Amino acid sequence: MFLLYVSQMTGAGQLVLRNCALDRGGRRLFSGLSLTLDAGEAALVTGPNGAGKSSLTRMIAGLLPVAEGQMSVKGRLALSNESLALDASETLGDALAYWAGLDGHGFEAVNAALEMLAIPHLAPVPVRMLSTGQRKRASLARVLASGAEIWLLDEPANGLDKASIPLLEAAMATHRAAGGIVVAVSHQPLALPGAQAVRIGA
């Protein structure tokens, strides 16, 4: 196994997987997975429940080890999954600003993310008071405000109402147009023009 991970901002991002395998709980979830994404490109990951789609995003994020193969990541990563990772006792604006600050950004990035997802009015609301759909958009706003080149989005449309999905799709398109990379796991249709199809499992 060989893993190269570059955590600092390096300009245009790149993600390369070569014949990668992943094990969890003593079981091999997938093997022989190869994928190359350069600036502006995307991948849409599909497959049955339990096949390892979410685990793939965690592997790319460095939270799970690559069992076999090679993975190379150029640029910073931001992951949105079932874990909101925001302080429930803080207002949404302050909670997002904390993470944006760690990424070297300020309230301007947070405000832009909230505007893009049509939730600027939620900035003063405590995170613990957010509804399911609002929590999902808050998780996505954390990714938008990060400035990361590579977005890892695990079921990003879950919990979103019909009016919010176009906002998500517009955010992904804007990110790609600026040279960003998107890896999206979804059982729902998403507008990701030209995305590489990655099927995990049967």
Give the span between the Cα atoms of 36 and 199, in whole angstroms: 15
Domain ranges (residues) in the chain: 2-39+47-76+193-199, 80-185
Label residue 153 left, alpha or beta by phi (over 0 means left) and psi (-120 to 50 means alpha): beta
State which fold the 2-39+47-76+193-199 domain adopts.
Rossmann fold (3.40.50)
For domain 80-185, the CATH architecture is 3-Layer(aba) Sandwich (3.40)
> In degrees rounded to 5, what are phi and psi of residue 24?
-145, 130
- At position 149, the amino acid (one-letter code) is E
Work out the average pLDDT over 3-15.
53
Could you read off the pLDDT of 109-160 as tens digits, one per residue? Answer: 999 999 999 999 999 999 999 999 999 999 999 999 999 999 999 999 998 9
Would the CATH topology of 2-39+47-76+193-199 be identical to that of 80-185? yes
CB 181 within 8 A of CB 41: yes
Question: Quick one: pLDDT at residue 107?
Answer: 87
| Residue of 18, 54, 14 lying closest to 35 (CA atoms) | 18
Residue 126: what pLDDT? 97
User: Within 10 A of 54 (CB to CB), how many other CB atoms are there?
Assistant: 19
The answer to whether the CB of 52 falls within 8 A of the CB of 29 is: yes
Residue 105's contacts (CB-CB under 8 Å, 6 or more residues apart) are: 145, 146, 147
What's the confidence (pLDDT) of residue 11? 58
What is the pLDDT at residue 6? 29
| pLDDT tens figures, 66-90 | 999 999 999 999 999 888 889 999 9
* Beta-sheet pairing, 14-24 with 68-74: antiparallel
Question: From residue 10, how far is each of 59, 70, 141 by CA, in Å?
Answer: 21, 20, 22
